[in-house]
A and B are shown apart, each in its own frame.
Chain A
Amino acid sequence: MIRSAARPKVEVQDLNAWFRGVHALRGVTLTVPANTVLAIIGPSGCGKSTFVRCINRMHELVPGAHQSGHILVDGQDLHARGVDPVDLRRRVGMVFQRANPFPTMSILDNVVAGLKLNGIRGNHAEIAEKSLHQAALWDEVKDRLQTSALSLSGGQQQRLCIARALAIGPEVLLMDEPASALDPIATAKIEELIRELREQLTIVIVTHNMQQAARVSDATAFFYMGELVEHGPTEQIFTNPKESRTEDYVTGKFG
């Protein structure tokens, strides 16, 4: 994979978002180069989740939610005429805070759920195996692909959800606190996974865990009260932030 210095994969310009009357994002502008990991940090309620949910247009599904500004993926405006949010979500995958496998489906069916539900043909078994390998879950489930997804542990379920997101071949992967409900061992596996996945896709990860942000990301953005306070290389944000608010947060003085 070539890391092109050309156009960033995701460009966000002056993004404002509201829901239920709350101004959740205030004029956020940033870019995410291809094949990098951007970590979003900040205290609860600062708009981190809203931000990632804008990038695959899940935000607009909440009743009463709206937004202004522009988000471009590969230079194309998400809200341009003719952009179908359904197609967009196949290119911009998402992993949620709580592992949410489909309870009525087997492990195998969960992985290829995006293909099956969308009626995409192809060698599902092969895609499933590849995705499970990518999600570092294959060895643990290869002998019980037909059992219920709920028979897996929490960490395995979350990796299953990552495999499910990967199976439809996204270019960007949004992760909304993917490891916040997991124990340290499962968390380490997910982090390892993120570093590997960077070779193939662009990742935006929301996290409450600053060590995690430091470990997995190339760039970090600090959000506070809906504003983007600071955005820069991860090392700089954690060792030499420009803003005092960032410094206070990353050193644990508040948040």
Chain B
Amino acid sequence: MSSRMRRRAVNAAMTILCALGLLIALVPLVSVLWLVISKGVRGLSLDFFTQLPTPVGEAGGGVGNAILGSLYIVGIASAIGVPLGVGAGVYLAERGGGRAGDAIRFTAEVLSGVPSIIVGIVAYGLVVLPMRRFSALAGGVALAVLMVPTLARSTEELVRLVPRHLREASLALGVPEWRTSLRVVLRTALGGILTAVLLAVARASGETAPLLFTSLNNQYWNWRSDQPTASLTVQIYNYAVSPYQDWHDKAWSAALVLLLVVGALSLVARFLARSRFGAQR
């Protein structure tokens, strides 16, 4: 009887400890959310989403061009980074057994540990200097470089999770290996890969440092990939480091918009992973 009491006591204590750990982990998350929402919600209006920024002291204005710019730059980054990352991941999973695979894996690991500002410098050297101007393209390249390694590794893991017997089933039907990889293996892993892609995109949307000297900023609408382009993160940075209270408020509101955009992306990722793109298990 006493051993049973003891077991119950330990069980209760451990449950409380775990719950406590969860609470402590939630504190920073909730406080960040609370701070951003409470300080940012006041400045939100339809104009904030659709208008251009206004000079200091002038009421109204928004970050419409920065929202669009962020989407534009992240779009370029995805167009470059997603095929590269997913392709590399599939290669690693399917053919990465040898030395080349180990080398790529090691490179990806090192690359994913490189601080993002350094990636920004690389993009500056690769794109900005030859083009002689800051541009959305340069920002996209920088973010793409950040996306590729993590995307490659998570794709590799996801493709490896596809059971070998599915691959064999396809091969035994006389389907060539490349088509088996594409239509069966990749298709089966697609739900997970899509989630990984959207998470990588969400992460890239939150980057500031690599954009500071690649896409720079722009006070106006910009549709050209070879021109400096505004982004939410750089806009927040500029507002935040300014000495004006008016701009500080706008920084909070822009931060809230960024959170909303990233949150929406994560939600979509979860939804897609669960519904039609997932393996129906």
Contacts and interface: CB of A to CB of B under 8 A. Distances in A.
Interface of A: 56, 58, 61, 63, 86-90, 93-94, 96, 98, 100-104, 113-114, 117-118, 148, 150, 161, 164-165, 168
A119 to B, nearest CB: 9
11 contacts: A58-B168, A63-B97, A88-B174, A94-B172, A100-B169, A103-B188, A103-B281, A104-B190, A114-B174, A161-B169, A168-B174
A168 B281 CA distance: 27
B280 A113 contact: no
A213 to B, nearest CB: 22
A148 B276 CA distance: 11
A86 B175 contact: yes
A98 B163 CA distance: 11
A102 to B, nearest CB: 6
A164 B169 CA distance: 10
Most A-side CB within 10 Å, residue of B165, B171, B281: B171
B169 A102 contact: yes
A58 B176 CA distance: 12
B184 A96 contact: no
B179 interface: yes
B274 to A, nearest CB: 14
Nearest to A114: B173
Q: Secondary structure of the B side of the interface? A: helix
Interface in B24-61: none
Interface of B: 97, 163, 165-166, 168-176, 179-180, 183-184, 187-188, 190, 279-281
A141 to B, nearest CB: 16
Contacts of A102: 166, 169-170, 184, 188
A98 B164 CA distance: 11
Contacts of A63: 97
A98 B165 contact: yes
A98 to B, nearest CB: 6
B172 A93 contact: yes
Contacts of B173: 89-90, 93, 113-114, 117-118, 164-165, 168
A118 B174 contact: yes
Contacts of B190: 104
